[in-house]
Structure 1
Amino acid sequence: MSTSNHEPGIRKGGVRKGVYLLPNLFTTGTLFAGFYSIVATLKGDFHIAAWFILVAAVFDVLDGKVARLTGATSQFGVEYDSLADLAAFGVAPGLLMYAWALTGFGKLGWLAGFLYVVCGALRLARFNVQVNTVESKRFVGLPIPAAAGMVASCVLLFHRLGGSGTIKKVSIVILIYVLAYLMVSNHRYFSLKDPELFKRQPFGFLVLAIFLIIVIVAEPAIMLFSIAFLYMLSGPIGDVTGFFRGPKKAVPTESPD
């Protein structure tokens, strides 16, 4: 029986050569946290579901950092990471938003949740094809983990401060459409992959980071929402301020004559 012409290439460069264990374990942690968020949503434990989306985000940051620091990057890891991200930051938040606030909208409610999921999938697909061509210090479009973090922090904020009914439903509908647009937009966002972030920084940066951690621990729901909200707005605001500044004018040079 004949074999496919592609099979030797798969054997040579695929999983038969082995996979990197540590970063893929962190990716599995992302997938597990996303799956448990779905389980919690189905049980009606919405604030727990939100927390597990944030846990998934922590695992997602760690798997990338570990892979780069150990030189353990691979095409298998990239693909596995994207699938885990779609489950943890696409399907889980989409289902959470629908079950938490949109069931009263009927078909329009679950279609809005699906819009978030499909825009997240498109964002991941675009990232995968642009990963070697786009500046590593910036993301094009709101990253799907940040969008999921915005959803989770919104749930936690309502759980902390109270509030339900019309205000919650309207705000979530608006949030879904805003996040869906931002994920597939061309707005640029700051990336934690920026190598400058991990170099020596002024002492004041350390003090600010410690203060920020203390405030987050004291009021996690409010602070996480504030951080996610500001990051969500940073892309459009950065583009608008850059637009109003206009292109830099070239400095005229004197003729050598």
Structure 2
Amino acid sequence: MNLPQSPNNAPDADDDLEPVGPRPRPKGIYALPNAITLSALFASFYAIVMAMNGRFETACIAIFAAAVLDSLDGRVARMTNTQSAFGEQMDSLADMVSFGAAPALIVYQWALKDMGKLGWIPAFVYIAGAALRLARFNVNIGVVDKRYFQGLPSPAAAALVMGLIWVVDDAGIKGVGRVDWAAWSAFAVTLFAGLSMVTNAPFYSFKVFGGRRSVPFIVLVAIALGIAVVSLDPPRVLFALFCAYGLSGYVIYGIKKSRGKPVSVIATSTDEPDEEGLHR
């Protein structure tokens, strides 16, 4: 016999509201990836201080160290499942300092300040290009073809400018502002790097390597040989590599254009009015 349920035996209304499955991970700040980001930020701060004291070679090495650390924090967060909105914002702000403000200030202190107000132009174009590039990257992060970067990545732009400084300083040339060819080279390279960050040229991202994707054994041999070559003369080899990378996006753009292939790296539909200007 089924007895009617009394009010005391009725199921609790709150039982139907209990979540099914694992609870969502609480939002928080994770120490390891953010510590790496802070280390990159300190390296860029250290670079600025060294440039103010005339130690430009040390400043360049510090910016390269910041670039290495910047490449690690996101990977460490994904490997340890410690991604967070806070970490993303922290990384973006640190990148603006490390690869936007710091290189602009260092190259201005190194060669452009003796040009007067004319020296402001490439330094400001560079720092503005870095800000615009990072903002566009954050907005388009979900719709860009992961094989390519839209515009020159800010770490590569910083490496291009810092590589020039390192090469010239390593050659023993001091007082660069009074050496016409060196000062105008700094002007041109800084302006090129700043403008390249806001172009639509596709620069290869190298994201197909590493992570969980396997690679042929010969790739590891090539990496080992590359490290050996860089160790022979780090300033010149690194500068040459980043010069080649800085031009590669325009080469890819020209090849795709000549073959009639789409040159935009935006992967979404062109039907959206807000994205009309992103598909040219």
Q: Which of the five TM-score ranges fits, normalised by the shorter chain?
A: 0.7 to 0.9
Task: Give the one of 69, 88, 92 matched to 1:82.
Answer: 92
1:10 is aligned to none
Shift in Å, 1:156:
1.1
Secondary structure of the structure 1 residue equivalent to 2:149: strand
1:127 is aligned to 137
1:112 is aligned to 122
Task: Give the one of 246, 250, 266 matched to 1:236.
Answer: 250
Identical residues among aligned pairs (%) = 40
> Does 1:100 pair with 2:110?
yes
Give the direction of change, closer, same or farther, for the CA distance of 1:35–1:196 in structure 2 (3 Å limit): closer
Whether the 8 Å contact between 2:44 and 2:66 is mirrored in structure 1 is yes
> Does 1:37 pair with 2:47?
yes
For residues 222 and 211 of structure 2, what CA distance do their matches in structure 1 show?
14
For residues 179 and 244 of structure 1, what CA distance do their matches in structure 2 show?
24
1:160 is aligned to 170
Counterpart amino acid of residue 66 in structure 1: V
Give runs of aligned pairs for residues 18-33 of structure 1, distance below 5 A.
18-33=28-43
2:275 is aligned to none
For residues 69 and 247 of structure 2, what CA distance do their matches in structure 1 show?
24
> If the length of structure 1 is used for normalisation, what is the TM-score?
0.86
For residues 18 and 74 of structure 1, what CA distance do their matches in structure 2 show?
7
For residues 91 and 123 of structure 2, what CA distance do their matches in structure 1 show?
22
For residues 95 and 68 of structure 1, what CA distance do their matches in structure 2 show?
32
Shift in Å, 1:17:
3.7
Counterpart amino acid of residue 194 in structure 1: V
Total equivalences in the alignment: 234
For residues 247 and 208 of structure 1, what CA distance do their matches in structure 2 show?
31
For residues 104 and 58 of structure 2, what CA distance do their matches in structure 1 show?
15
> Does 1:53 pair with 2:60?
no
1:67 is aligned to 77
Unaligned stretches of 5+ residues in structure 2: 1-23, 263-280
Over aligned residues, Cα RMSD in angstroms? 1.9
Cα deviation 1:180-202 (Å, max 9, x = unaligned): 11100101111143357752222
Give the direction of change, closer, same or farther, for the CA distance of 1:239–1:197 in structure 2 (3 Å limit): farther
Shift in Å, 1:246:
2.5
Whether the 8 Å contact between 2:125 and 2:195 is mirrored in structure 1 is no
1:199 is aligned to 213
Kindly indicate which of the two structures has a greater share of residues assigned to helix: 1
Counterpart amino acid of residue 160 in structure 2: M
